[in-house]
């Protein structure tokens, strides 16, 4: 275990979004100050932090000024360049390390890493040219998903290929190259696991949860996932293997598919707190954010046990934010507002958690009743 960061030290967070905001709130409870690096004025994280360096993630002067105001650095945003993070790491401890970011921000490196450590994924191939894509389609078959290898999130930068006639147009449209072709997984459900790992290698693994998406954006998380216990345990073991393989210090999310025959395949990893772990704020003694801060600050990790079952519903865009007055007036709905002033379509503005007694997660109609106007259109 590294030496614990004393209270009143400053944790630097690269990125000013809601993940930084909720990390800073957790850090404050442990007596730490947070200092944010973001180009954005009045960012969600800056609103609740001790200070902000306003600057571009690639500007060496801004990176140096930011590092100078911190004792240890982490990131809530993965689109900083690994070189930028290297510069920070030459000035202060950066947790997780830039080598972890190099893997998670590049889909090809991510898939290679996962398969190397024995974690199964969809079949995939790197494609740089249309001829390579034709060969990959011949091997993997259709349907398949063609994705950019960098900067993709919330379904941006990907195309579903159903027919051979769609291949060339999708290849022309997506950039930058190389791309990655993945076999389409006809999944029974999507799940994720958050695991925290300290610098001494200890780990705390949150329960496996189930995720429903709408328009490629996470809509709802069910904790725990409504899947057989052994599948949930296999997913947790897989997430721990990833954290160990990365020599992670911090929190990591692994998003996975469960196939109809019960296999668990990794889709994506994110070496930071994750939207599918927001339920832990209200349903666990130490949330994913507190666990992340603990790992980054060298404090002991706590058991990641939930005291309650939970459903987390994202509040996306102006339509769902219009329900805010109703939400804050509803007993039982725990509101979380990210402090963003403009509710653009597709923008994550906040979330709501509804708790149930442990082991008492109701069925689809019970959940719909508990969520009121926020219930998913088609309960699943
Ligand atoms: P990603 O950007 O890789 O997280 O993908 C966003 C969403 O697209 C996932 O949550 C899935 O719902 C869907 N998706 C991505 N890859 C595949 C795949 N290989 N097979 C089926 N669905 C996929």
Ligand 1 atom 18, closest CA: 184
Structural domain includes residue 107: no
Ligand 1 atom 17, closest CA: 184
Ligand 1 atom 8, closest CA: 155
Structural domain includes residue 101: no
Do 242 and 361 share a domain, yes or no? Answer: yes
- The answer to whether 233 and 262 have CB atoms below 8 angstroms apart is no
pLDDT of residue 235: 98
Structural domain includes residue 211: yes
Residue 287, pLDDT above cutoff 80: yes
What angle separates helix 60-68 from helix 82-89, to the nearest 10 degrees?
Answer: 40
State the pLDDT confidence band at 73, using cuts at 50, 70 and 90: very high
Domain boundary among 166, 183, 200: 183
For residue 98, the CA-to-ligand 1 centroid distance in Å is 25
Q: For residue 186, which atom of ligand 1 is closest to its CA? A: 21
Q: For residue 184, which atom of ligand 1 is closest to its CA? A: 20
Structural domain includes residue 347: yes
Residue 154, pLDDT above cutoff 70: no
- The answer to whether 252 and 197 have CB atoms below 8 angstroms apart is yes
Distance of CA 117 to the CA centre of its chain: 21
Please report, for the domain that includes residue 135, its CATH number: 3.30.1490.20
Kindly state the DSSP code that residue 81 receives in the 8-state scheme.
-
Structural domain includes residue 251: yes
State the pLDDT confidence band at 151, using cuts at 50, 70 and 90: confident
The mean-pLDDT minimum among 25-34, 72-81, 137-146, 230-239 falls in 72-81
pLDDT of residue 378: 66
Please report, for the domain that includes residue 43, its CATH number: 3.40.50.20
pLDDT of residue 50: 98
Structural domain includes residue 368: yes
Per-residue pLDDT tens digits for 226-278: 999 999 999 999 999 999 999 999 999 999 999 999 999 999 999 999 999 99
Ligand 1 atom 11, closest CA: 216
Do 90 and 227 share a domain, yes or no? Answer: no
- The mean pLDDT of 147-164, rounded to a whole number, is 84
Residue among 141, 149, 155 whose CB has most ligand 1 atoms within 8 A, to mutate: 155
Do 161 and 222 share a domain, yes or no? Answer: no
Do 244 and 369 share a domain, yes or no? Answer: yes
Per-residue pLDDT tens digits for 194-230: 999 999 999 999 999 999 999 889 999 999 999 999 9
Residue among 145, 157, 179 whose CB has most ligand 1 atoms within 8 A, to mutate: 145
For residue 19, the CA-to-ligand 1 centroid distance in Å is 22
For residue 44, the CA-to-ligand 1 centroid distance in Å is 27
For residue 248, the CA-to-ligand 1 centroid distance in Å is 24
Beta bridge partners of 159: 146
Kindly state the DSSP code that residue 320 receives in the 8-state scheme.
H
Helix, strand and coil in the chain, % to nearest 5? 35, 30, 40
For residue 179, the CA-to-ligand 1 centroid distance in Å is 15
Q: For residue 156, which atom of ligand 1 is closest to its CA? A: 2
Strands (E) located in 185-290: 187-197, 203-205, 209-214, 217-223, 250-259, 264-270
How many domains is the chain built from? Answer: 3
Cis omega (within 30 of 0) for bond into 268? no
Domain boundaries, position 281: 187-374
- The mean pLDDT of 65-80, rounded to a whole number, is 96
- The answer to whether 223 and 279 have CB atoms below 8 angstroms apart is yes
State the pLDDT confidence band at 187, using cuts at 50, 70 and 90: very high
Do 299 and 217 share a domain, yes or no? Answer: yes
Kindly state the DSSP code that residue 195 receives in the 8-state scheme.
E
Structural domain includes residue 1: no
Q: For residue 107, which atom of ligand 1 is closest to its CA? A: 3
State the pLDDT confidence band at 345, using cuts at 50, 70 and 90: very high
For residue 272, the CA-to-ligand 1 centroid distance in Å is 19
- The mean pLDDT of 110-128, rounded to a whole number, is 98
Q: What is the mean pLDDT of the chain?
A: 96
Residue among 267, 270, 314 whose CB has most ligand 1 atoms within 8 A, to mutate: 267
For residue 153, the CA-to-ligand 1 centroid distance in Å is 10
Do 191 and 307 share a domain, yes or no? Answer: yes
Beta bridge partners of 187: 259
Per-residue pLDDT tens digits for 313-330: 999 999 999 999 999 999
Please report, for the domain that includes residue 246, its CATH number: 3.30.470.20
For residue 37, the CA-to-ligand 1 centroid distance in Å is 30
- The answer to whether 335 and 368 have CB atoms below 8 angstroms apart is no
pLDDT of residue 152: 60
The mean-pLDDT minimum among 1-5, 59-63, 122-126 falls in 1-5
State the pLDDT confidence band at 367, using cuts at 50, 70 and 90: very high
Q: For residue 185, which atom of ligand 1 is closest to its CA? A: 20
Q: Which helix (H) or strand (E) holds 37?
A: strand 33-38
Do 136 and 238 share a domain, yes or no? Answer: no
Domain boundary among 183, 204, 234: 183
Ligand 1 atom 5, closest CA: 155
Structural domain includes residue 99: no
Q: Rounded to the nearest 5 degrees, what angle is found at the Cα of 363, between the Cα atoms of 357 and 365? A: 115
Q: Rounded to the nearest 5 degrees, what angle is found at the Cα of 18, between the Cα atoms of 16 and 23? A: 85
Do 169 and 191 share a domain, yes or no? Answer: no
Do 205 and 172 share a domain, yes or no? Answer: no
Do 288 and 147 share a domain, yes or no? Answer: no
> CB-based contacts of 89: which residues, under 8 Å, 6+ apart?
73, 97, 98
Alpha carbon distance, N-terminus to C-terminus of the chain: 44
Task: Of 186, 182, 180, give the one whose Cα is nearest residue 149.
Answer: 180
Per-residue pLDDT tens digits for 75-102: 999 889 999 999 999 999 999 999 999 9
For residue 69, the CA-to-ligand 1 centroid distance in Å is 39
Do 198 and 327 share a domain, yes or no? Answer: yes
Per-residue pLDDT tens digits for 33-49: 999 999 999 999 999 99
Do 283 and 174 share a domain, yes or no? Answer: no
Binding pocket residue ranges, ligand 1, CB within 6 Å = 122, 145, 152, 155, 182, 184-185, 190, 213, 216, 255, 267-268
């Amino acid at each position: 275990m590294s030496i614990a960061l004393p209270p009143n030290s400053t944790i630097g967070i690269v990125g000013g979004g809601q993940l930084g905001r909720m990390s800073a709130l957790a850090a404050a409870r442990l007596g730490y100050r947070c200092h944010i690096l973001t180009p954005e004025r009045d960012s969600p994280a800056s609103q609740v932090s001790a200070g902000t360096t306003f600057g571009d993630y690639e500007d060496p002067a801004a990176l140096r000024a930011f590092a100078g105001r911190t004792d240890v650095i982490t990131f809530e945003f993965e689109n900083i360049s690994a070189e930028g993070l290297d510069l920070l790491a030459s000035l202060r401890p950066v947790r997780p390390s830039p080598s972890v970011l190099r893997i998670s921000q590049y889909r090809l490196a991510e898939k290679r890493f996962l398969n190397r450590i024995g974690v199964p994924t969809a079949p995939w191939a790197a494609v740089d040219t249309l001829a390579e894509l034709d060969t990959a389609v011949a091997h993997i078959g259709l349907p398949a998903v063609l994705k950019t290898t960098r900067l993709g999130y919330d379904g941006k930068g990907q195309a579903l290929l159903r027919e051979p006639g769609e291949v060339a147009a999708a290849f022309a449209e997506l950039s930058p190259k190389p791309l990655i072709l993945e076999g389409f997984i006809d999944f029974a459900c999507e799940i994720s696991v958050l695991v925290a790992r300290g610098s001494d290698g200890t780990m705390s693994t949150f329960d496996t949860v189930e995720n429903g998406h709408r328009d490629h954006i996470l809509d709802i998380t069910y904790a725990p996932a409504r899947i057989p216990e052994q599948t949930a345990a296999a997913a947790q073991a897989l997430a721990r293997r990833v954290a160990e393989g990365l020599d992670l210090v911090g929190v990591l999310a692994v998003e996975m598919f469960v196939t109809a025959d019960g296999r668990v395949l990794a889709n994506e990893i994110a070496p930071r707190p994750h939207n599918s772990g927001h339920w832990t704020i209200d349903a666990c003694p130490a949330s994913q954010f507190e666990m992340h801060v603990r790992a980054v600050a060298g404090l002991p990790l706590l058991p990641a046990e939930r005291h309650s079952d939970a459903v987390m519903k994202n509040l996306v865009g102006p339509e769902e934010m219009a329900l805010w007055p109703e939400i804050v007036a509803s007993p039982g709905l725990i509101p979380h507002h990210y402090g963003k002033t403009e509710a653009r379509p597709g923008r994550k503005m906040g979330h709501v958690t509804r708790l149930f007694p442990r082991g008492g997660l109701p069925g689809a109609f019970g959940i719909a009743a508990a969520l009121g106007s926020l219930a998913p259109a088609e309960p699943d």
